């Protein structure tokens, strides 16, 4: 196994303290991070470490259920529900060694919330946390709208989570503990990819490292694997944010959607234990109209953008699977 090539890159850390009075400074910092790295971390965002730890406990209580209980809320193509070892990325052609449970605010969740009989209060806790993360997301949306010359509430309206058909998704993730002794297998955790949403907010747990980024749009479009990675430290109180393909397109490619992964642990110093993380994907309403101020790309609806992203992903995956089969 060859050694991963690492490079130190500055990942901007942005404080949201005194948001209303500092909005112009915060906007400048966010725009700079979005243009140059595509990733940044947030502090002073209003969620306490205790709130985040409580959500991680709730998440663990779900994953601790037996598989036959989790299978009552199976994943479907509305991007909701539970899956295990089923997500295959075009970069790897192999399933991620993980399970995840995707949650939304609206009608897509009908019948897919784990019930109070299994986990009392689960739905209410998740929705409460999601609402808090939405509030933080909306602060960032105001800044990005300003930075691009749109009205302040422009992106907020385009991602309205009070609509029954809202697509915004919180994903609880559990990566399984892996053997530390090499056994000839590669256990991908989250194979390298870019997100196709507007903006992702990610919660990590101290001590459960593995997230890495690889800036460079060229590796994204080819679904290839760039070769120089930067570790993003896991700190429970921080929120790691990354620009998704949607905001990249909406900014006429000014802001960067950055390739990232949770590394398949394989080298000395890698973390092999269970990893829990929580990702919040800001997704557009189906009828939102998407076009950047410079009109670099034709206007599409939110539904079309997502459909195109899924098609592109599917096509790249088929290509990869052919090479995996031929190997
Ligand atoms: O689990 C993580 O830390 C990252 C997950 C991720 O990148 C994703 O689900 O898109
Ligand atoms: Fe991601």
Q: Is 232 in the pocket of ligand 1 (CB under 6 A)?
A: no
pLDDT in the model for residue 284: 97
pLDDT-derived band of residue 110, with 50, 70 and 90 as boundaries? very high
202 CB near ligand 1 (under 6 Å):
yes
Q: If you search the block for the tokens 């459909």, which residue do you land on?
A: 307
Confidence of residue 176 (pLDDT cuts 50, 70, 90): very high
The atom number, within ligand 1, closest to the CA of 281 reads: 10
Cβ distance 218 to 282 under 8 Å? no
Q: Residues near 128 by Cβ (< 8 Å), separated by ≥ 6?
A: none
pLDDT at 310: 87
Residue 194 Cβ contacting ligand 1 at under 6 Å: no
Residues having C-beta closer than 5 Å to ion ligand 2: 195
The whole-angstrom separation of Cα 199 and Cα 244 is: 5
CA of 261 from ligand 2 middle (Å) equals 7
Q: How far apart are CA 169 and CA 296, in angstroms?
A: 28
What pLDDT is recorded for position 222? Answer: 46
13-66 pLDDT per residue, tens: 999 999 999 999 999 999 999 999 999 999 999 999 999 999 999 999 999 999
| Stronger pLDDT, 325 or 124, i.e. the higher one | 124
Ligand nearest to the CA of 172: 1
DSSP letters spanning 199-253: EEEEE--TT---EEEE--HHHHHTT---SEEEE----TT-EEEEE-HHHHHHTTT
Residues with Cβ < 8 Å from 293, sequence gap 6 or more?
A: 148, 149, 150, 252
Q: Check pocket membership of 190 for ligand 1, CB cut-off 6 A.
A: yes
| Cβ 278 under 6 angstroms from ligand 1 | no
Percent of the chain that is helix, strand, coil (3-state, to 5): 35, 20, 45
Q: What secondary structure does DSSP assign to 16-77, as a single string?
A: -TTHHHHHHHHHHHHHHHHHHTSEEEEESSS--HHHHHHHHHHHHHHHTS-HHHHTTSB-BT
How much is the pTM? Answer: 0.95
Number of the ligand closest to the Cα of 277: 1
**Which ligand number lies closest to the CA of residue 174?**
1
> Dihedral of CA 57/241/248/290: which sign?
positive
Calculate what percentage of the chain has a pLDDT beyond 70: 96
Structural domains of the chain sorted by starting position, each given as residue range(s) with its CATH number in brackets: 5-326 (2.60.120.330)
pLDDT digits (tens, 9 = 90+) for 251-298: 999 999 998 999 989 888 999 999 999 999 999 999 999 999 999 999
Give me the pLDDT at residue 323, please: 83
What is residue 107's DSSP assignment? Answer: G
């Amino acid at each position: 196994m060859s050694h991963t090539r690492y490079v130190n890159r500055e990942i901007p850390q942005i404080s949201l303290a005194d948001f209303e009075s500092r909005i112009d400074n915060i906007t400048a910092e966010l725009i700079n991070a979005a243009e140059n790295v595509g990733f940044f971390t947030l502090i002073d965002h209003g969620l306490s470490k205790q709130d985040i730890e409580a959500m991680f406990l709730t998440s663990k209580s779900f994953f601790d259920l037996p598989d036959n209980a989790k299978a009552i809320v199976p994943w479907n193509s509305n991007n909701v529900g539970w899956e295990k070892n089923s997500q295959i990325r075009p970069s790897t052609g192999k399933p991620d060694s993980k399970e995840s449970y995707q949650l939304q605010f609206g009608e897509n969740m009908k019948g897919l919330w784990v019930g109070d009989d299994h986990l009392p209060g689960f739905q209410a806790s998740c929705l409460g946390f999601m609402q808090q993360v939405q509030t933080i997301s909306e602060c960032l949306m105001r800044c990005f709208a300003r930075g691009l010359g749109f009205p302040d509430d422009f992106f907020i309206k385009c991602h309205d989570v009070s609509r029954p058909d809202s697509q915004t998704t919180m994903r609880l993730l559990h990566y399984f503990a892996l053997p530390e002794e090499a056994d000839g297998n590669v256990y991908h955790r989250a194979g390298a990819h870019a997100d196709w949403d507007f903006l992702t907010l990610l919660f990590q747990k101290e001590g459960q490292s593995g997230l890495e980024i690889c800036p460079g749009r060229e590796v994204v479009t080819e679904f290839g694997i760039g070769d120089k990675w930067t570790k993003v430290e896991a700190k429970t109180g921080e929120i790691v944010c990354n620009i998704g393909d949607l905001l990249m397109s909406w900014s006429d490619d000014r802001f960067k959607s950055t390739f990232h992964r949770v590394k398949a642990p394989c080298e000395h110093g890698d973390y092999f234990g269970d990893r829990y993380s929580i990702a919040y994907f800001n997704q557009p309403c189906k009828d939102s109209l998407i076009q950047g101020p410079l009109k670099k790309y034709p206007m599409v609806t939110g539904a079309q953008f997502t459909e195109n992203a899924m098609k592109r992903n599917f096509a790249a995956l088929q290509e990869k699977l052919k090479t995996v089969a031929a190997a």
